[in-house]
A and B are shown apart, each in its own frame.
Chain A
Amino acid sequence: MPTLEELYQQVILDHSKRPRNFGALPEATHQAEGHNPLCGDRVKLYLRVKGDRIEGAAFEGSGCAISTASASMLTEAVRGKTLAEAEQLFDAFHRLVTGEPLSLSEKAALGKLAAFSGVSQFPIRVKCASLAWHTLRAALEGGEQVVTTE
């Protein structure tokens, strides 16, 4: 039986109440917007990419605790990563929140993001957790349109 504590782990509550890297990133080279039309969650993600490395990330938007914490922790997690590493992190995060098995190296790469493991027991909340990550992918691919979870 899933519990509240599994979903709302301390680190998630902390990031949802005090999101990091919140606000626009003036020197952003990439940006994209994500929208979950079902619940109205919105995230705008800014990236500063130099060569093939993400030097900085920030976000704006509004949403539930899970989507806010996810965006906040994403901005910390991708900083300093190469584009290929960020893509691998996307895959690992997606497997984590959908309850698929993870390799040891994936687990290691996720680090603090492992706090989102509880989401897999709440299928309706998977989209909340993954919205920022889909937005990241859109930003890196350079598409103009708003990505949606639907």
Chain B
Amino acid sequence: MNATSVTGLDVEVIRKDFPILHQTVHGKPLAYLDNAATTQKPRVVIDAIRQYYESENANIHRGVHYLSERATADYERARSVVRAFLNARDSAEIIFVRGTTEAINLVAATYGRTHLQPGDEVLITAMEHHSNIVPWQMICEERGARLRVVPINDHGELIIEEFEKLLSARTRLAAITHVSNALGTVNPVQELVRLCHAHGVPVLIDGAQAVAHLRVDVQALGCDFYAFSGHKVYGPTGIGVLYGRKELLERMPPYQGGGDMIRSVSFERTLYADPPYRFEAGTPHIAGAIGLAAAIEYLTGLGIEQVHAWESQLVRYGVEQLAQIPGLRLIGTPRERAAVISFVLDGVHAHDVGTVLDLEGIAVRAGHHCAQPVMQRYGVPATVRASLAVYNRLEEIDRLVMAVRKAKELLG
């Protein structure tokens, strides 16, 4: 079985696009299985960033000179690439931020601060990353509001009946991850949005672990906010996106004050710009936005359905092979899983497994994955997490399985 026969993608050709993959680590070929932490970058992304700094670097939106016009055009072009990627109606609904974390903080600090009253509630789930927990805790504390958490079942799936029960007249916002970074669970976000909207509750979706693996159509989902990070979708670090429905964005106060987010300033009064500029104070990460656009075009060039099909093969094979190791327990066994396999080994700490794997040239994550409540739910301090991308090979899964067996022999 290879990728070509399954999906029309040739993994060996794809791998040639990623310079970093062709190296040895501790004398072994690198097997990069830490893609949920960050993905590697294709040559086109690296080139786009270099090209920007080498030939068109200038500040945007105000310059009347040639370079500034080019930089502005490319930055705004990047916005329309993101718009098309998410199938948003309008480019004004695409706000560039530093990453998912900043996107969620932005919504908490603007929408959250103006809508939450004492006694109100914000609904999240038990599988959220810390970045979709802590900003809500902070704003709830500030506003005297309450954070409610929808539990998950033993498979690591959201319990929909509990979700419905916790939705109430006091709920002001639901913030839900699309894909769990610690378990791999794909949440039925479309259904959840429908439930929330039936109660008049707007929904933010944390798409950090979704956009590289699943087609995302914000109009079909019907969500009010959608957040993701560039570096988890083959783009650079330091750039991310907040999608917000225009009707909501137009009524939201600014996030940070500064240049570029204003219409006019006097010492008596400042008029704020319209979205998206109202939320982009200061000089943005122009090169990052351009790099992100290159990454999105690369991914859509491969075809997100084809990418998903290949990754599904890898995940199925990985789950199947790992489950055969005696004493290995999968953490999270959801029916719908995307690109993440988390597990623990009886009597062996995840960090020791991680070190054994590292010496075999295999990069995985060992730890709590910034999802400590998930670890507590399963009663483990940490898990080993293998997470996949389009450039991973079946042979890398075989190496992972062999190395885990080795760790078990040595340390178990």
Chain A residues within 8 Å of B, Cβ to Cβ: 1-4, 7-8, 13, 16, 38-41, 62-66, 122, 125, 128
B73 sits at the interface (CB 8 A) = no
A1-B27, A62-B381 as given contacts; A39 in contact with B367, CB under 8 Å: yes
- Name the B residues within 8 Å of A39 (CB-CB): 349-351, 366-368, 381-382
How close is B94's CB to chain A, nearest CB, in angstroms? 35
A1-B26, A39-B367, A39-B381 as given contacts; A122 in contact with B355, CB under 8 Å: yes
Say yes or no: A65 contacts B367, CB within 8 Å: no
- CB-CB contacts of B355-374 with A at 8 A, as 1s and 0s? 11001000000111000000
> Which residues of B12-50 are within 8 A (CB) of A?
26-27
B410 sits at the interface (CB 8 A) = yes
Say yes or no: A40 contacts B381, CB within 8 Å: yes
Say yes or no: B355 contacts A41, CB within 8 Å: no
B159 sits at the interface (CB 8 A) = no
B375 sits at the interface (CB 8 A) = yes
Say yes or no: B410 contacts A8, CB within 8 Å: yes
**Which chain B residue shows the least CB distance to A66?**
B352
* Complex: A38 Cα to B411 Cα, angstroms: 21
Say yes or no: B411 contacts A16, CB within 8 Å: yes
8 Å CB contact of A65 from B26, B27, B382, B411: B411
- Name the A residues within 8 Å of B352 (CB-CB): 8, 64-66
Say yes or no: A40 contacts B368, CB within 8 Å: yes
- Name the A residues within 8 Å of B410 (CB-CB): 4, 8, 13
**Which chain A residue shows the least CB distance to B410?**
A8
8 Å CB contact of B359 from A4, A40, A41, A66: A4
8 Å CB contact of A125 from B26, B355, B367, B368: B355
Say yes or no: B355 contacts A40, CB within 8 Å: no
Most buried by A among B350, B351, B368: B351
8 Å CB contact of B349 from A4, A7, A38, A64: A64
- Name the B residues within 8 Å of A1 (CB-CB): 26-27
Say yes or no: B26 contacts A2, CB within 8 Å: yes
- Name the A residues within 8 Å of B349 (CB-CB): 39, 63-65
A4-B356, A39-B367 as given contacts; A128 in contact with B381, CB under 8 Å: no
- Name the B residues within 8 Å of A40 (CB-CB): 368, 375, 381-382
Most buried by B among A38, A64, A128: A64
* Complex: A122 Cα to B366 Cα, angstroms: 15
How close is A36's CB to chain B, nearest CB, in angstroms? 9
Most buried by B among A2, A40, A63, A66: A40
How close is B361's CB to chain A, nearest CB, in angstroms? 11
* Complex: A29 Cα to B348 Cα, angstroms: 32
* Complex: A3 Cα to B406 Cα, angstroms: 14
Say yes or no: A125 contacts B411, CB within 8 Å: no
How close is B1's CB to chain A, nearest CB, in angstroms? 31
Lowest 8 A-B CB distances belong to which pairs? A40-B381, A64-B349, A64-B351, A65-B352, A64-B352, A39-B351, A40-B382, A4-B359
* Complex: A8 Cα to B409 Cα, angstroms: 12
Besides A66-B351, A66-B352, 16 new A-B residue pairs in contact (Cβ under 8 A), listed by A number? A3-B359, A4-B356, A7-B355, A8-B410, A8-B411, A13-B411, A16-B411, A39-B350, A39-B351, A39-B367, A39-B381, A40-B368, A63-B381, A64-B351, A65-B349, A125-B355
* Complex: A40 Cα to B380 Cα, angstroms: 9
* Complex: A3 Cα to B355 Cα, angstroms: 10
**Which chain B residue shows the least CB distance to A68?**
B349
- 19 sampled A-B residue pairs with Cβ under 8 A: A2-B359, A4-B355, A4-B359, A4-B410, A8-B410, A13-B411, A16-B411, A39-B350, A39-B366, A39-B367, A39-B368, A39-B382, A40-B368, A62-B381, A64-B349, A64-B351, A65-B349, A65-B411, A125-B355
**Which chain B residue shows the least CB distance to A41?**
B381
> Which residues of B183-210 are within 8 A (CB) of A?
none
Most buried by A among B27, B350, B352: B352
* Complex: A2 Cα to B348 Cα, angstroms: 21
How close is A143's CB to chain B, nearest CB, in angstroms? 24
* Complex: A7 Cα to B351 Cα, angstroms: 13
**Which chain A residue shows the least CB distance to B406?**
A4
- Name the B residues within 8 Å of A3 (CB-CB): 359
* Complex: A37 Cα to B103 Cα, angstroms: 26
How close is A120's CB to chain B, nearest CB, in angstroms? 14
How close is B308's CB to chain A, nearest CB, in angstroms? 32
Say yes or no: B356 contacts A38, CB within 8 Å: no
How close is B27's CB to chain A, nearest CB, in angstroms? 6
